[in-house]
């Protein structure tokens, strides 16, 4: 590792300023305290000398690394990259580097990842992994790491989060299908230990009741994971159950994609035989065969808002910030149509 024991002093000597001025300029947080011309000169000299802040040493002194971490549950779900990209861009304009870690839906991996990021002194965290009863959130609190939840929140919503109104979104999907004439709606949901899946599940039941329809538990599924494979397995069971249904409300787009596969394997056409709705409007949803009717959630806005809240928390860790709830909107595409007479 490169050492800079006298780097700052040498820069100060060449620039003809006190070494504390150099320190101020090399720290993005305090740079504005030094006049523009002097700061520019110092940065040029630092660059010419190949000076790089030894962040480890700086970190030990100031506890600032200008790096934040984002933890996602499933890197292969295309819903997360746009959120992360927005975080990166917003944090980047404030001089922060974003590193990403993927837990592969494992709480054990999440703990190891959190340990690693914490030891490497990230200044803050954005967690897209929250479960309703979440040890990791407790851990972040104990360690006094500023953090913001994104997409999912915890039980009681007692942490600062940026989420969307999930039950409202599912209600839009149910209303759309009911307006098309569907009455027998199946539901393919995710694990109920995540706020998103729980709210969507409850939203489905509430919306059905509001339309004086029965949310039939015999055609409602709770998948173990939010993946295409899990959706396919659930839809297979649904088809094999021989119960009547003309539409499937899926709790996310990957589950919906799995339903496409199971319907196709059973010789059923979407939407002619069965309509399908998704949730998230993830990238590529409009390119699927058929293009997926789904709920659009503002992914970029979620990332931006989470980054802005985290910046505020890092500046003033004691501040209590209100959570942000964004609204989903229905995007109607080719996967929904009036029910066929024969079913």
Contact with its own copies (CB under 8 A) among 92, 241, 244, 315: 92
Per CB under 8 A, contacts with its own copies among 26-55 are: 52-55
The token pair that represents 97 in the structure block: 């580097």
Per CB under 8 A, contacts with its own copies among 235-264 are: 257, 260
Provide the pairing of β-strand 247-250 with 161-164: unpaired
What DSSP element (H or E) covers 8? helix 7-15
Contact with its own copies (CB under 8 A) among 28, 33, 56, 138: 56
**Residues binding its own copies: number (CB under 8 A):** 50
Shortest distance, position 102 Cβ to its own copies, whole Å = 6
Shortest distance, position 189 Cβ to its own copies, whole Å = 21
Contact with its own copies (CB under 8 A) among 184, 206, 290, 338: 290
| Cis-peptide, bond into residue 271, ω within 30° of zero | yes
Contact with its own copies (CB under 8 A) among 28, 33, 49, 112: 112
Of 172-180, 233-241, 280-288, 314-322: span binding its own copies (CB under 8 A): 280-288
Shortest distance, position 334 Cβ to its own copies, whole Å = 9
What DSSP element (H or E) covers 125? strand 124-127
189 — phi, psi (to 5°)? -110, 180
Per CB under 8 A, contacts with its own copies among 178-197 are: none
Sign of the dihedral through C-alpha 140, 141, 144, 147: positive
237 — phi, psi (to 5°)? -60, -45
* DSSP for 300-324, written as a single string: HHHHHHHHHHHHHHHH-TT-----E
260-274 exposure pattern, b = at least 16 Cβ within 10 A, e = fewer:
bebbeeeebebbebb
Cα angle 299, 320, 135 (rounded to 5 degrees) comes to 70
Per CB under 8 A, contacts with its own copies among 118-147 are: 119-121, 143
Shortest distance, position 55 Cβ to its own copies, whole Å = 3
Residues within the interface to its own copies (CB under 8 A): 1-2, 52-56, 59-60, 63, 65-67, 69, 75-76, 78, 81-82, 84-85, 88-89, 92, 97-102, 104, 109, 112-113, 115-117, 119-121, 143, 257, 260, 283-284, 287-291
């Amino acid at each position: 590792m490169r050492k800079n024991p006298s780097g700052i002093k040498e820069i100060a000597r060449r620039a003809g300023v006190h070494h504390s001025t150099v320190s101020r300029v090399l720290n993005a947080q305090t740079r504005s305290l030094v006049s523009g011309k002097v700061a520019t000169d110092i940065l040029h000299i630092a660059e010419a000398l190949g000076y790089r802040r030894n962040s480890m040493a700086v970190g030990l002194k100031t506890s600032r690394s200008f790096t934040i971490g984002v933890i996602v549950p499933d890197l292969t779900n295309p819903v997360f990259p746009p959120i992360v990209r927005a975080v990166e861009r917003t944090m980047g304009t404030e001089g922060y580097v974003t590193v990403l870690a993927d837990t592969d839906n494992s709480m054990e991996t999440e703990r190891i990842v959190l340990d690693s990021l914490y030891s490497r002194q990230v200044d803050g965290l954005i967690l897209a992994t929250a479960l309703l009863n979440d040890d990791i959130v407790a851990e972040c609190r104990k360690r006094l790491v500023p953090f913001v939840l994104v997409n999912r929140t915890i039980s009681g919503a007692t942490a600062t989060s940026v989420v969307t109104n999930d039950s409202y979104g599912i209600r839009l999907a149910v209303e759309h299908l009911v307006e098309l004439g569907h009455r027998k709606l199946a539901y393919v949901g995710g694990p109920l230990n995540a706020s998103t899946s729980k709210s969507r599940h409850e939203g489905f039941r509430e919306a059905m009741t509001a339309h004086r329809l029965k949310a039939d538990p015999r055609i409602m599924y709770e998948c173990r994971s939010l993946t295409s494979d899990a959706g396919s397995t659930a839809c297979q069971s649904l088809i094999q159950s021989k119960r009547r249904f003309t539409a499937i409300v899926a709790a996310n787009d990957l589950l919906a994609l799995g339903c496409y596969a199971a319907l196709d394997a059973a010789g059923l056409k979407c939407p002619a035989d069965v309509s399908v709705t998704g949730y998230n409007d993830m990238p590529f949803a409009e390119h699927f065969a058929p293009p997926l009717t789904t709920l659009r959630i503002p992914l970029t806005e979620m990332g931006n808002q989470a980054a802005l809240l985290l910046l505020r928390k890092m500046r003033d860790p004691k501040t209590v910030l209100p959570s942000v709830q964004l609204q989903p909107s229905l995007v109607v595409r080719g996967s929904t149509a009036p029910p066929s007479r024969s079913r």
